[in-house]
Structure 1
């Protein structure tokens, strides 16, 4: 059994909800620092060199947030399995800046995401996820 205080499912869900609200939606760097374990690994990153926490922060702060105005994260459901939280959510807003090579269109966009986060001692330790960002960008390219 993992060391540290026992955390129940509602506590785990609250940690992940806080990350989504404060970090992804609001862009709060202090919350990011508080919620990321030093040994965090993003298993969804395209290469080992990009699996650290800082790359995840850069994705939010330099890719998503500048491109999506009034960015909102809507959590549809969360499930817990041990120390993992599975979240189904939508990141939405208006396309107001360049997004992966597509100039602003002013269109409303919505990226559906399902992710799994392992939490230890109240902090993100591992992440796995799938999303529809590539499909959204392809649709924007078509006009």
Structure 2
């Protein structure tokens, strides 16, 4: 496809990003298949920290399976507050809400993430979660 030409065969990066973000509650319930269809087999997930980058859909699946199995939270929801698209890249600022299962305490925290999309699938991902605010709200 020529540079600058629109890819009309697939939804744009903002739509793919929205679908993936909104599937998070299903992922936490262990229902991964629909969300994984949005992930490219060669995806690079820039997790940073001691985990570093993770590569491939299988690594993404493993992360989601672990999050689903270890989830200490329920009633998870998110609201996309802002989305910005530039070329093949989409950035979201959203509020993630839920309840800590053991304490019953609710939280609402800021999350920002960015994806790069090619052919209707996420090929690269970056994310920041305000874990300090979450710990504070949960009294941890």
Common fold: TM-score over 0.5: yes
| Structure 1: 4+ residue segments shifted above 2 A | 44-66, 137-142
Q: Any idea what SS the aligned residue of 2:74 has? A: strand
The structure whose residues are more often helix, as a share, is 1
CA contact (8 A) 1:5 1:121 kept: no
User: Superposition pairs for residues 1-143 of structure 1, below 5 Å?
Assistant: 6-7=7-8, 11-22=12-23, 24-27=24-27, 28-46=31-49, 47-48=51-52, 50-63=54-67, 66-96=71-101, 104-137=102-135, 139-142=137-140
CA contact (8 A) 2:91 2:115 kept: yes
| Structure 2 length-normalised TM | 0.77
Q: Any idea what SS the aligned residue of 1:136 has? A: helix
Aligned positions, number: 132
CA contact (8 A) 1:45 1:51 kept: no
Compared CA separation, residues 51 and 39, structure 1 to 2 (3 A): closer
Structure 1 unaligned spans of 5+:
97-103
For the aligned residues, what is the CA RMSD? 2.8
Structure 2 unaligned spans of 5+:
none
How far off is 1:56 after superposition?
A: 4.1
How far off is 1:135 after superposition?
A: 3.8
| Structure 1 length-normalised TM | 0.75
Q: Distance in 2 between matches of 1:115 and 1:51?
A: 17
Q: Distance in 2 between matches of 1:137 and 1:80?
A: 31
